[in-house]
Amino acid sequence: MFLHNKRLQYTVRVAAPNPGLANLLLEQFGGAQGELAAAGRYFTQALAEDDPGRKDLLMDIATEELSHLEIVGSIIVMLNKGAKGQLAEGVEEEGELYRAINGAGNDSHITSLLYGAGAPLVNSAGVPWTAAYIDTIGEPTADFRSNIAAEARAKIVYERLMNVTDDPGVKEALGFLMTREIAHQLSFEKALHAIQPNFPQGKLPGMPEFTNKYFNMSGEPNVRGPWNEGAEWEYVENPEPAVDGGDGLASVTLAPADFEVVEAMKLRTASDPTTNLVTGADLGSGLVQGKDA
């Protein structure tokens, strides 16, 4: 059960309307790294979680993300307040109104016109929110790593948003949201490592002959470091094809009837390497049919 408290988790104080900044903030409202995507990710994971501790953790953070969605949406609406009134009442000349809602070269006029200067579930480029942003796989040792990365990406977006505003109240609220991304990362990290072992993800350990083998696929020089050198690594400087010892060719065992039709198709569609007919491409390039190039 959810109960809505009409007070925000963090107080929003916007110094002045700024439709351009509002449009940028949509990235954290309906974007891939935004609060709705985070809430959806953790909420659906919580529903499927059998461990009571992880279930509570995921549901707590999912609920907090919804409160963050409300904060971001409230900031967006406050930043758009002036544009909303101007668009609705048409009190300015057309050119002045366009300049007012367009901001500093921002596309805010699009969202202002389409969505009435509200807070639509789109990103800063106007792309609608999609459930494809939720990358849950249903295995906690994989999902919690993805959750940590998602919180890290969201933190970076908040940092970038803070860098493009000088509104002290907006910057302070964004700083709070950014800080909560750090707190969530810490919780997810602790929850991940409460599962032992948690690497490799899932149940199967992997093929031992390939688990700690590093293939140099970049040629020379190849930079070495703890990711490909040391006692735990077998470094293969010049990897050969078919590292399994086979011939490296794909094959399939066919039933006799399938083999016959595949062979017939192969013969019917075989290429004649000696043929060089004049084609439409030749004619389009100025070649006269029947005459050498």
In this prediction, residue 231 carries a pLDDT of 95
DSSP secondary structure string for all residues of the chain: -----SS-SS----SS--HHHHHHHTHHHHSTTSHHHHHHHHHHHHHH--SHHHHHHHHHHHHHHHHHHHHHHHHHHHHTHHHHHHHHH--S-HHHHHHHHHTTT-THHHHHHHHTTS--SB-TT-PBP-GGG----S-HHHHHHHHHHHHHHHHHHHHHHHHT---HHHHHHHHHHHHHHHHHHHHHHHHHHTSSS-SSSSS----HHHHTEEE--S-SS---STTT-STT-EEESSPPS-TTSS---------HHHHHHHHHHHHHT---TT-----HHHHHTTPPTTS--
In this prediction, residue 117 carries a pLDDT of 74
Mutual angle of helices 35-48 and 140-163, in 10-degree steps: 160
Q: Identify any residues that bridge with 122 across adjacent strands, giving them in sequence order.
A: 128
C-alpha distance across the termini of the chain, in Å: 78
pLDDT tens digits in sequence order for the chain, 293 residues long: 889 999 999 999 999 988 889 999 999 999 999 999 999 999 999 999 999 999 999 999 999 999 999 999 999 999 988 665 555 555 545 455 555 555 544 555 566 656 677 899 999 988 999 999 999 999 999 999 999 999 999 999 999 999 999 999 999 999 999 999 999 999 999 999 999 999 999 999 999 999 999 999 998 889 999 999 999 999 999 998 999 999 999 999 999 999 999 999 999 999 999 998 888 888 887 765 555 54
Domain ranges of the chain: 19-193, 206-267
**How many beta carbons lie within 10 A of that of residue 112, not counting itself?**
24
Residue 169 in contact with residue 18, Cβ under 8 Å?
no
In this prediction, residue 63 carries a pLDDT of 98
In this prediction, residue 101 carries a pLDDT of 55
Residue 161 in contact with residue 25, Cβ under 8 Å?
yes
Residue 99 in contact with residue 69, Cβ under 8 Å?
no
* Structural fold of domain 19-193: Ferritin (1.20.1260)
